[in-house]
Structure 1
Amino acid sequence: MTFRNRLQYFLVKRLQISNKKALELITLGECWVAGKQVFENVEIQAFQEIVWKEEILREEKKLHYIAFYKPVGIETTLNQTIPDNLQAILPFEEKLFPVGRLDKASEGLLLLTNDGRLFDKTLRKEHQTEKEYIVTVDKPITESFILQMSSGITIMGQTTLPCSVEALDEHTFSIILVQGLNRQIRRMCYKLDYEVLSLKRIRIDQIHLGDLQPNEYREVGKLIGEL
């Protein structure tokens, strides 16, 4: 936690006052954070309403959490100078950011949000957030392939963590990862002399792609607290 995340810092910048004066306003109980009167230099979140006396210094920001079906051929970037960028197909007025990535040739579930707290919480390996994929490859799947994929394969100088892999039919398998290495599944398959023909992410933790079709979306705010 840094000083920049504290109410005192916000008051200094917003009211153009000294650190001493800002702390005085707080200890006198003149400030409210998210509707609650505070008397200490508390941590504040970017979406919370801040009130000094009866003046609203910052309005509450509505947080959005969206499950979006990214189609094949779209880059997971909001940089509009890059061809086929995600921003060009999103139908939202407010700018929402993708949590994690799917490479251009892959499709399926992306989480979109304006809540900056969600990024690290979802994607850092120690949180063990499960991500499930359905993958089709160019050759029949063998028991050896399943065993090696699930046990871990060395790619980019490191061995992937053990994961759950299950054959669904002769050429299709499901895989559940808790890592997010660059093009991880494609690289793992390549090491075993398999080529990925299609790759779809169908789940991130408790959030499922469900019956969404490419470019469709739905709100998933009630599930975010479980991530």
Structure 2
Amino acid sequence: MNDTQGIRVSKLLAERGLCSRREADAYIERGLVFVDGQRVTQLGTRAAADAVITLAPEARATQARQATILLHKPIGIVSGQAEDGHQPAVSLISPKTQMAGDHQRFQPSHLKGLAPAGRLDIDSTGLLVLTQDGRVARQLIGDDSKVEKEYLVRVEGSLDERGLALLNHGLELDGKKLRPANVAWANPEQLRFVLTEGRKRQIRRMCELVGLRVTGLKRVRIGRVRLGDLPLGQWRFLREDERF
């Protein structure tokens, strides 16, 4: 297939969830990608949309060593890069803060390239995922991600049926309509939000639009993975039997 036909192999690998685009380019350069049984070594190589694309065993072994970590983020910690003197979430990942009884031993190599797959505001707490694995990052924060995130949100103010209906569907932020949500009262003081997107400060801004003020926000689930009994400020590895 010539250079103007087909789809870039790196894009196909990412779309199929085999790795991220960045990882795909690295694997191609190392000769660890095969298209219809033929080794590919040239960046930018294109292939048919239905081509059989596989990774060499060395690439799969590299992926198996990539860590995904679940952190119970405290308030006052930022998800990504340090800002305004606040600690980044990755600074909490150390042997001292690993949850007791976790199944895997921490290695310094687990910090290399470890980055949050999504964000949790500085004044919010709960489940935050950090990963070295581009497949996990794309699954959670890719443009086409539909993974649910569940939050318990403490609010002040009154909410009538119309306001609750708008929280579920009908609001827009920054001129763009929000995806349908699942919002209901968890108890007299807290709403339970289930979202499939993550706009900046989305829940707080949604609540403001219907006359509510958020006084506490905690993420308790991402996909099928729950915060559970993970202590505040501690972390654990994603288990092999867990899937988002």
User: Shorter-chain TM-score category?
Assistant: 0.7 to 0.9
Within a 5 Å distance, the mapping from 1:57-96 to structure 2 comes to 60=62, 62-79=65-82, 82-91=85-94, 93=108, 94-95=110-111, 96=114
Where 1:215 maps in the other structure, the secondary structure is coil
Return the offset for 1:68: 1.0
Q: Distance in 1 between matches of 2:89 and 2:238?
A: 19
CA contact (8 A) 2:150 2:193 kept: yes
Q: Structure 1 unaligned segments of length 5 or more: list them.
A: 12-32, 51-58
**Pair 1:181–1:156, CA change in 2 (3 A):** same
The 8 Å contact of residues 71 and 233 in structure 2, kept in 1 or not, is answered as: yes
Equivalent residue of 1:41, what SS? strand
CA–CA separation in structure 1 for the residues paired with 2:58 and 2:116: 24
Per the alignment, residue 10 of structure 1 pairs with 30
Q: Which moved more, 1:122-131 or 1:168-177?
A: 122-131
TM-score, normalised to structure 1, is 0.73
| Alpha-carbon distance, 1:218 to partner | 2.1
Higher-Rg structure is 1
What is the TM-score when the length of structure 2 is the normalising length? 0.69
Deviation at 1:167, TM superposition (A): 0.4
5+ unaligned residues in a row in structure 2: which ranges? Answer: 1-8, 12-23, 41-52, 95-105
Alignment of 1:184-223 (within 5 A): 184-223=202-241
Number of aligned positions between the proteins:
194
Deviation by residue 1:11-47 (Cα, 9 ceiling, x = unmatched): 5xxxxxxxxxxxxxxxxxxxxx69xxx96215676x9
3-state SS in 2 of match to 1:121: helix
Q: Is the 8 A contact 1:141 1:171 kept in 2?
A: no
Partner SS, residue 240 of structure 2: helix
Deviates more, 1:215-224 or 1:178-187: 215-224
- For residues 136-173 of structure 1, what are the alpha-carbon distances to aligned partners after superposition, in whole Å with 9 as ceiling and x for unaligned? 01124433332110123121111211111110222211
Task: Please give the alpha-carbon distance, in whole angstroms, between the structure 2 residues aligned to 1:146 and 1:211.
Answer: 30
* % same residue: 28
Partners of 1:138 and 1:196 within 8 A in 2: yes
